[in-house]
Chain A
Amino acid sequence: MKIFKSALHYWIAIVSVLSFLAGWGMLAHSLKPVQAARSSSPNTASLPALPPIQAFGGLGGNELTGNNGGSGLNLSAPGNSPASVFPRLRSGGS
């Protein structure tokens, strides 16, 4: 019985050492994790507090026509009856 216990201790010790070495070897030869690319762009680096807003589907048949181009004061021409279509409104700064 004593011999069996000693043999078991030796066997566990040897298997543990071999398992440890095998694990080390596997990790040492495995692929390295890819480092996250660090963005140097100031445009997006500091925006975590502002989640992008989702865009919805197309405008479909509701799109208005017309334009607000040209120079000076542009007036939409009033018709004889109430107008039903407004010029297209655009905002882009000036």
Chain B
Amino acid sequence: MNTDILLAALGTSARLAEGFEETQRFIQASENRFTRFSEESELSALNRSAGTPFQASPDLFAVVALAQHFFHQTRGLFDPSILPDLKRVGYDRSMDLIRGQGAIPLLESLLAGGRPSFSEMDLDEVRGMILLPPGMSLDLGGIAKGWIAEQAAILLSDFSSACAVNAGGDMFLVGLPEGESQWPVAIEDPLQPENDLTTIKVDPGAVATSAVTKRVWKQGGKLRHHLIDPRTGEPAQTDWLSVTVIAPHAYEAEVFAKALLIGGPRESEELTRNGGIRFSYLAVDHDRKIWGYQNSSEYSYVNNSI
């Protein structure tokens, strides 16, 4: 999934070595299952099955069911069926390959057709079957990354008293560092990723950030990024550069970070009111100004160094 994953845990060396090994195995197996960049992955098999029922593994079924749930909860701002649009604008290979070889030409992308709505997908919970309508293919990148981070942290917590799994900025935190009452998490400056914009302190749970400045490439001279607005099928024109969400679960933090970034201030009120979960967010605009929504005292700033 082109993501660096950090595991950190507190415990004794023998137990931690065992825990790291088991967690690493789980992460690798999940990567093989959820990546869209390998024809061998279960997700690729699901995408090839469009039009016929697909017998999914429990893990794939769980993540697709979560995706369907959040598609409705965000009123379509989170939509994993934008994969054809993502490929059309050039993100058809891993980011490393695109940066090395360039994206598909713009003219070719203009000839691509439409796609069915994600609401047309059918799930059979009893038999664990997924039916994608013809022409539909899914990209579970973000939500799967959050889900993997959370499952990996829960697994690692069996071997430690406190641990953190950070999958490319989507993290799940279990327990607390020794002597700390909360976890400090630095928020990256979207315009200068080498710098931190601020640091927040959060309770055990999840933090995820979505940004339009990270996976960026050029297609026929046009600057593109990976965050597709499902309403237009084009890279989202956003008022904010990044959104960080603090939530109980990593997959929902990831989903709402993406939906808030795409929806922007206009949709944020509706999303926070009807999101159905307790979450807080920080949004960074083009002037590096931080906007936020607090519905609780879950976090506070501890540093601000621009």
Which residues does A use to contact B, with CB under 8 Å? Answer: 41-44, 46-47, 49-59, 62-64, 66, 68-76, 78-94
Q: Is the CB of B289 within 8 A of A52?
A: yes
Interchain CA distance A46-B57 in the complex, whole Å: 44
Q: Is the CB of B24 within 8 A of A73?
A: yes
Pick from A63, A74, A79, A93 the residue with the most CB of B within 10 Å: A93
Q: Is the CB of A47 within 8 A of B265?
A: yes
Partner of A71, one of B4, B10, B242: B4
Q: A44-B289, A75-B24, A80-B13 are in contact. List 7 more A-B contacts (CB 8 A).
A: A53-B301, A56-B300, A74-B6, A76-B7, A81-B12, A82-B10, A87-B6
Interchain CA distance A46-B214 in the complex, whole Å: 25
Interface pairs (14), CB distance under 8 Å: A47-B285, A52-B290, A53-B292, A56-B302, A58-B303, A68-B4, A70-B4, A83-B9, A86-B162, A89-B166, A91-B209, A92-B214, A93-B169, A94-B214
Q: Is the CB of B242 within 8 A of A93?
A: yes
Residues of B within 8 A of A49 (CB): 265, 268-269
Residues of A within 8 A of B198 (CB): 55
Partner of B11, one of A52, A56, A78: A78
Interchain CA distance A51-B292 in the complex, whole Å: 7
Q: Is the CB of A73 within 8 A of B178?
A: no
Residues of A within 8 A of B207 (CB): 89, 91
Q: Is the CB of A64 within 8 A of B177?
A: yes
Minimum Cβ distance to chain A for residue B27 (Å): 7
Residues of B within 8 A of A83 (CB): 9-11
The segment out of B80-88, B101-109, B180-188 that lies at the interface is: B180-188
A contact patch SS: loop
Residues of A within 8 A of B269 (CB): 49
Q: Is the CB of B168 within 8 A of A43?
A: no
Q: Is the CB of B208 within 8 A of A91?
A: yes
Q: Is the CB of B199 within 8 A of A78?
A: no
- Knowing A78-B11, A82-B10 touch, does A59 contact B199 (C-beta < 8 A)? yes
What are the 4 closest A-B residue pairs judged by CB atoms, nearest first? A92-B188, A93-B211, A94-B168, A55-B304
Partner of B6, one of A59, A62, A68: A68
Residues of A within 8 A of B185 (CB): 89-91
Q: Is the CB of B302 within 8 A of A59?
A: yes
Contact mask for chain B residues 278-296; partner A; CB cutoff 8 A; 1 contact, 0 none: 0000110111011111100
Minimum Cβ distance to chain B for residue A60 (Å): 8
Interchain CA distance A59-B167 in the complex, whole Å: 25
Contact mask for chain B residues 20-57; partner A; CB cutoff 8 A; 1 contact, 0 none: 10001001000000000000000000000000000000
Interchain CA distance A81-B128 in the complex, whole Å: 45
Q: Is the CB of A74 within 8 A of B4?
A: yes
Partner of B291, one of A50, A56, A88: A50
Partner of A46, one of B166, B189, B210, B239: B239
Residue of A nearest to B187 (CB): A91
Q: Is the CB of B177 within 8 A of A55?
A: no
Residue of A nearest to B280 (CB): A53
Q: Is the CB of A42 within 8 A of B177?
A: no
Interchain CA distance A51-B60 in the complex, whole Å: 39
Pick from A58, A81, A85, A91 the residue with the most CB of B within 10 Å: A91
Interchain CA distance A53-B297 in the complex, whole Å: 12
Partner of B13, one of A43, A79, A91: A79
* B121 beta carbon closer than 8 Å to chain A: no
Residues of B within 8 A of A74 (CB): 4-7
Partner of A92, one of B10, B211, B292: B211
Q: Is the CB of A52 within 8 A of B13?
A: no
Partner of B177, one of A44, A54, A78, A86: A86
Interchain CA distance A58-B196 in the complex, whole Å: 13
